[in-house]
Structure 1
Amino acid sequence: MTLFLHIRSICIAFAFAAVSTAATAQGPVQGVLEACETEITTYCDQVTPGHGRMLSCMYAHEDKISDACANSIVDLADALDFMFANASEAIAICAADIEANCSSVEFGGGRVLSCLKENADRVSSDCQPVMKAFAEKFGLED
């Protein structure tokens, strides 16, 4: 898949994520911020972050971004693909564990996943591998 398609996928995913309650991909997002720091400063410093504007700016300068930045965008797209492909099933499998251990935790930003990890000794054996897969994918592993 070309970088253009990855950026477009991320923009669509962020538009969807803005109205969803799924956790934010903190590890890959941080990876983009770090790997693309120069590009963001050079080409997009006047852009107000949010609603896909920063990624749209990166798309506009696609021919000028570094390989490290491009690769981090691909990693973020992969993480978001994983999240959207697996979130519903993960929530269904872990629903009882979420209710029992994290019912007061607000969805989003990886808070529920972090709560499940903090309560790992009380999380069911069915939910454990789901929790581990998401933690690894989103940079929340220990």
Structure 2
Amino acid sequence: MKQHLFTMFMAGVVAVAVLVMLGAALPVFAQSINPCTEDMKTICGDITKGGGRLLRCYEERKDKISTDCRAWVEGAKANADALKKACSKEIDARCNFEKGDPLEMLDCLQGNYIDLSMQCRERLNEFKGRYPKPLH
């Protein structure tokens, strides 16, 4: 039952990620989840996702990004740092290649949920539904 709920949750996360990252189908809904939807399209739309490149784009073009998006990105970075501390062993063992991109790292940890320590699982559970799953 727990696995089924987690699978359904992940399917929902994927659906939200598609809306948020593309920002086309339901822009108002996507905007309420992630205030960076428009900035992703207009300011960093030329950036290929992965390896922390999108986050670097935001850092380099911070002056062009909306205030709400800047706050969201700063919160995401702080949360990623807290997650890295709680899950450092798991990240080193399973998700080391994802360290540069917080959403990729979160996705990797979620994909390895069963193998995570209780400390890491508890911290990871705090992030469910808060950030979109990266598109592959």
* TM-score normalised by the chain length of structure 1: 0.47
Higher relative contact order (CA 8 A, sep 6+): 1
